[in-house]
Amino acid sequence: MARYDQLGTRNGRTVSEPGLRQASGNNLDPWYGAYAARTAGLAASEVRALFAVASRPEVVSLAGGMPFVSALPEDLVTDAMNRVMREQGPVALQYGSGQGVQKLREQTLEVMALEGIEGSASDVVITTGSQHALELFSKLFIDPGDVVIAEGPSYVTAMVIFKSYQAEVDHVPMDNEGLIPEALREHIARLKADGKTIKFLYTIPTFHNPAGVTLSEARRSEILQIARENDILVLEDNPYGLLYFDQKPPAALRSLESDGVVYLGTFSKTLAPGFRVGWALAPHAIREKLILANEAAILCPSSFSQLVISQYLEQADWKAQINTFRGVYQERKETMLSALGEYLPDLTWTDPTGGFYVWLTLPERLDSKAMLPRAVKELVAYTPGTAFYADGDGRRNMRLSFCYPTPESIRVGIRRLASVINGELDLLDTFAGTGSLTSALSRGPYTAPPPNMS
């Protein structure tokens, strides 16, 4: 009988088989060779890896997309929680339906109606955040080697999920009006010519994460037409659509096409992420499979969280609260753009009309991922652009989040970031005649400037 040891060998010989990854050096995991092959796609995202250092109080974090939940009056939530426990305690603490609470599913229709979406509560599936809906959808549709088309850049954890199911991610470029239809056509044609199986188009058309741009109204119709012509399902992820600033964005893709679009929504950005409640609106057949997948994964979403949110939507002026969030985020975005214009006037960035993010482009010589440790040492954090590409692209970009820090902290953070960027450029200029920065630094020690504590 063949014997496997923990270093990827069989009877003392190195082997290469599905589910058994080769290793070098010592491995302290005795089950290293037993994991499924798909676990090779599981890795800590660069956003998650930042949390440990970015959460230090002295670091200004422009990295994570955390909502500013302090803008939510405490009594709105505690009143809802208390009422649920007084009136529905035994139900709230019990198992529930795999599809979710009927009343909450009906209330999500009111939320989606603000973006022009019509639907039936029977086609809504409540999930543990929209992240969970994305996981379930991927589980249902992706086979190893399938292709998922996504914008380039795209949501970091979506890339992790797709890769965990052994999908290839094909990034289609964007501009200031969102996904480029001509590029989408070209990518689809190339993939088909290569014999690839395209499972779906994943898109965040409104206040995109990380780019901050919004797909124009004209392009929305064209993108859907391209998808119809090629029998490609569209997965519309829309966490930020109600968080617009001066004017409403175009209607959601799901409002223009029902049979070919699965819509993902969440209460994480318009209420609070701690409840972990999202939903999917799907065509009937897909909905049925989503319910089965939901039950298989978690049995049922939290009854307590669902009932609290349902109570909140029934009793509170939730639309006014969303308006409050809009004002908070607009002020912070304007602060960030003003600071960028003051401290980094030679760079370029997007100007979002809603949502949480600005996408910054660096000079060609700089690498946002390589620069991050020095930025953290200078007490400012951001997310490198490479986190948002499955192929390692995006080194000249970084995502800056304005949702959580105060306006004052944003200004301090951008000033520190400018110091890091300008310091990198100065260093490159100093060693311009010595080859690469890496080779230059290898010739002698480099002492970083002391942290800016202001």
Q: What is the DSSP secondary-structure string of 238-293? A: -SSTT-BSSSPPPPPHHHH-STTEEEEEESTTTT-GGG--EEEE--HHHHHHHHHH
CA 305, 138, 206 angle in degrees (round to 5)? 70
pLDDT for the residue 247: 93
Residue 171 has pLDDT above 90, yes or no: yes
User: Measuring CA to CA, which residue among 161, 181, 282, 302 is closest to residue 233?
Assistant: 282
Q: What is the mean pLDDT of residues 434-448?
A: 42
The C-alpha atoms of residue 247 and residue 11 are separated, in whole angstroms, by: 67
Q: How many residues does the structure list for the chain?
A: 454
CA 76, 79, 80 angle in degrees (round to 5)? 85
Residue 54 has pLDDT above 70, yes or no: no
What contacts 24+ positions apart, CB below 8 Å, involve 374-378?
Answer: 374/420, 374/423, 374/424, 374/448, 375/416, 375/417, 375/420, 376/53, 376/54, 376/59, 377/448, 377/451, 378/416, 378/417, 378/419, 378/420, 378/448, 378/449, 378/451, 378/452
The C-alpha atoms of residue 218 and residue 249 are separated, in whole angstroms, by: 12
The C-alpha atoms of residue 449 and residue 19 are separated, in whole angstroms, by: 46
Backbone dihedral angles phi then psi of residue 387, each to the nearest 5 degrees: -65, -20
Residue 77 near residue 305 (C-beta atoms within 8 A): no
Name every residue whose Cβ is closer than 8 Å to that of residue 377 and which is 6 or more positions away in sequence.
Answer: 448, 451
Q: Residue 135 is encoded by which pair of tokens? A: 């996981």
pLDDT for the residue 45: 59
Handedness of CA 192, 194, 199, 202 (dihedral sign): negative
Residue 36 has pLDDT above 90, yes or no: no
pLDDT, one tens digit per residue, over 332-386 is: 999 999 999 999 999 999 999 999 999 999 999 999 999 999 999 999 999 999 9
Residue 160 near residue 42 (C-beta atoms within 8 A): yes
Give, in order, the Cα–Cα distances in Å from 300 to each of 133, 303, 314. 13, 8, 22
The C-alpha atoms of residue 386 and residue 369 are separated, in whole angstroms, by: 7
The C-alpha atoms of residue 138 and residue 115 are separated, in whole angstroms, by: 25
Parallel, antiparallel, or unpaired: how do β-strands 397-401 and 357-361 relate? antiparallel
Spell out the domains of the chain, with CATH numbers in brackets. Answer: 9-35 (no CATH), 46-65+321-441 (3.90.1150.10), 74-315 (3.40.640.10)
The position carrying tokens 């105060």 is: 406
The C-alpha atoms of residue 176 and residue 192 are separated, in whole angstroms, by: 27
User: Measuring CA to CA, which residue among 406, 435, 264 is closest to residue 336?
Assistant: 406
Q: How confident is the model at residue 10 (pLDDT cuts 50, 70, 90)?
A: very low
pLDDT for the residue 37: 82
Give, in order, the Cα–Cα distances in Å from 158 to each of 135, 186, 202, 312, 326. 8, 23, 9, 29, 25
Q: What is the mean pLDDT of the chain?
A: 88
pLDDT, one tens digit per residue, over 270-312 is: 999 999 999 999 999 999 999 999 999 999 999 999 999 999 9
User: Measuring CA to CA, which residue among 351, 321, 309, 331 is closest to residue 407?
Assistant: 331
pLDDT for the residue 323: 97
Share of the chain above pLDDT 70, in %: 86
pLDDT for the residue 433: 56
Helix 74-92 crosses helix 303-315 at what angle (to 10 degrees)? 130
Give, in order, the Cα–Cα distances in Å from 107 to each of 92, 311, 402. 17, 10, 29
Q: How confident is the model at residue 257 (pLDDT cuts 50, 70, 90)?
A: very high
Q: Residue 57 is encoded by which pair of tokens? A: 């109080």
Q: What is the mean pLDDT of residues 242-263?
A: 96
The half-sphere exposure of 68 on its side-chain side, counting CA atoms within 13 A, is 23
Backbone angle region of 100, left / alpha / beta, with phi > 0 → left and psi within -120 to 50 → alpha: left
Residue 51 has pLDDT above 90, yes or no: no
Residue 127 near residue 104 (C-beta atoms within 8 A): no
